[in-house]
Amino acid sequence: MIFTRWILALSCLLLVADPARAEPPEGRFWVGACTHFCQGKGLVEQNLESIRQAGIDSIRDEVVWSAIEREKGRLEMPERFDTYVRRAAAEGLDVLLILNYANRFYDDGDRPRSPEAIEGFCRYAEFVVEYFGSDVRRYEVWNEWDIGIGLPEPYRRGGSPEDYVRLLRAVYPRIKAVDPEITVLAGASTSGGVKRGWLEEILQRGALDFCDAISIHSYNYNEPFPQRSPETCAAWMTEVQAMIRSYNDGRDVPFYVTEMGWPNHDGRGGTCPQLSASYLARLYLLARQSPSFRGIWWYDFQDDGWDAEYNEHNFGLVRPDLTPKPGYHVLADIAPLVSRGRFLGRQATDDDDLWILRFRIDDQEAWAVWSGDDRDRQVVFQSAHPERPLTIRQAGHAARIQSWGFRDWARRQPKHDDQLSLVVGHRPVLLGTDLSGVSVARVTRLEMAAPEH
C-alpha cells in the first residue's frame, strides 16, 4: 500500500513510502511509535492501518516474561502476542520488542538477580528470539530498570547498574547465538537515570561488550521553557552520545531513543496539541544531525484514556478512538524526509534561534525551517533563479506553490523580483523543489506573543 506523504514535483513535494517493498538500508533512521498491544490496548488491525498511514515504519512493544512462563519451566507464546507481532511484520513494519519484567517463580517477583532467575530470563529470551525469527530484528533488554516500573511492591524501586550488566552479560550471548543478525539494545533508562549517572555506570561496567546499541528515554516535558524544548533535548542527547563514545575508544555507537513525547494533558507539564506536534517534528528533524542516531519511538501512538488531566492518558498521536491529533498529520508529512533523507547541514544565518536544516531526498534538496524559541520570524529568501517557483508546506498542512517576487509594501519598500518572504514560527515549514541558488537575505523577529508553554 502506497501513501503519499509530501509532494515534491511541479505542484507539490512527492514522496512515496512503502516499507513493505524492501529491507531498510543499514543505518537508516527509524520513525517509530510505542504501542501497547501486549497489554490488550486498541484494535490491532485498525491501529496498524493508522500507524502505516502516519508514515511510521517501526513499532515498539513488549512480550512480558510472566505471560510466557505461566507455569515454571514451561514456555508458551500467548496468541495475542503472536497476532500483533506477525500482523505488524506482515504489514512491513519493523518490530522492536522489549524483553522485560519479572516472573513470580523467580526471586519472589523481583528483577532477575539470582543465578536461577537470570537463567530463567535467558531461557525466556532465547525462546522469544527463536519463536519470532525473521519477523523481529530488534530487541531491547528490559524497560527502565533504573526506576522499577512494571514490578510489584515491594520491588518497585530503582535497580542497580551492576545487576543490570550482570543480566546483560548472561542474556546477550545466548540470544545472539540463536540469531546473530538481531540488534540488541541495552539501557532503556529514564532521562533522570541518564542525568543521575545510571547509564554511565553501566558503561563503566562494560555494557558495550554485551549489546549492539544503546537506548534511552529522553522526556523533558516537566521542565520549564526552554529546557523543555526539542532543541535543548537534542543538544543534551548529543552530549549523551559523546559520553557513550568515550567508552568506545571514541567510535560511534548506534543510539536509539525508544520513548519520547510531550503529553497534551491539562495542567503542569502539559503541552497543547498544536505545540506538541511542532515539537515532535523538530525533534525528529534535529535527530538527523547525528549519524549514529538510529531512531525515535514516540510515546505513544494511541492515548491511554479520556482523562484530560492525567498525563498518561494524553501522550498519543491519536485519541483512544483513533481520531488523529495534530501530531499525527505532522508526522505523516515529515516521516519520509526523516527516514529517507540525507542530512546535509544547517544553513547559517545571523539568528541563532532560526533553524534551517538541509536534506537531500530523491535527488532533490529540501529545507526544514522553524523558530527555536517558538516566536514568529519573517524570513526573506533570495534566489539566483527566480524563474523556478518554490514549493512551501507547513508540516500538517497542504503544500502550495509560490512564485518569486516580494514587495514589503507595509514598510514602503520596493519590489524585489528575486525575493520571497515567509513568516515561520514553532511549526516547521518544508521548502522545495529546486533550492539551488537560494539563500537567506534577512531575518526579522516579529513582536508577537509566543505560545504558552
Same-domain pairing of 250 and 349: no
Cite the beta strand spans of 225-299 per DSSP E.
255-260, 293-298
Same-domain pairing of 315 and 427: no
Does residue 409 register a pLDDT over 90? no
Nearest partner of 68 among 111, 113, 126, 118, judged by Cα: 126
Same-domain pairing of 402 and 293: no
pTM: 0.93
Same-domain pairing of 41 and 77: yes
278, 310, 341: which is the final residue of a domain? 341
291, 316, 341: which is the final residue of a domain? 341
Cite the beta strand spans of 218-322 per DSSP E.
255-260, 293-298
Same-domain pairing of 291 and 393: no
Angstrom distance (rounded) from CA 86 to CA 379: 48
Same-domain pairing of 211 and 255: yes
Predicted local confidence at residue 411, as pLDDT? 86
Phi and psi torsions of 294, nearest 5°: -110, -5
* CATH code assigned at 426: 2.60.40
452 domain-assigned: no
Angstrom distance (rounded) from CA 245 to CA 252: 6
The answer to whether the beta carbons of residues 145 and 216 sit under 8 Å apart is no
Same-domain pairing of 336 and 364: no
271 domain-assigned: yes
453 domain-assigned: no
* CATH code assigned at 87: 3.20.20.80
Count CA atoms closer than 13 A to 158's CA, side-chain side.
Answer: 13
Q: What is the mean pLDDT of residues 44-68?
A: 98
Same-domain pairing of 24 and 61: yes
Q: What is the largest CA-CA distance in the chain?
A: 82
298, 315, 341: which is the final residue of a domain? 341
Does residue 452 register a pLDDT over 70? yes
Angstrom distance (rounded) from CA 240 to CA 229: 17
Convert the pLDDT of each residue in 225-240 to its tens digit: 999 999 999 999 999 9
Does residue 25 register a pLDDT over 90? no
Predicted local confidence at residue 245, as pLDDT? 98
Query: Domain range for residue 323?
Result: 3-341
Convert the pLDDT of each residue in 384-405 to its tens digit: 999 999 999 999 999 999 999 9
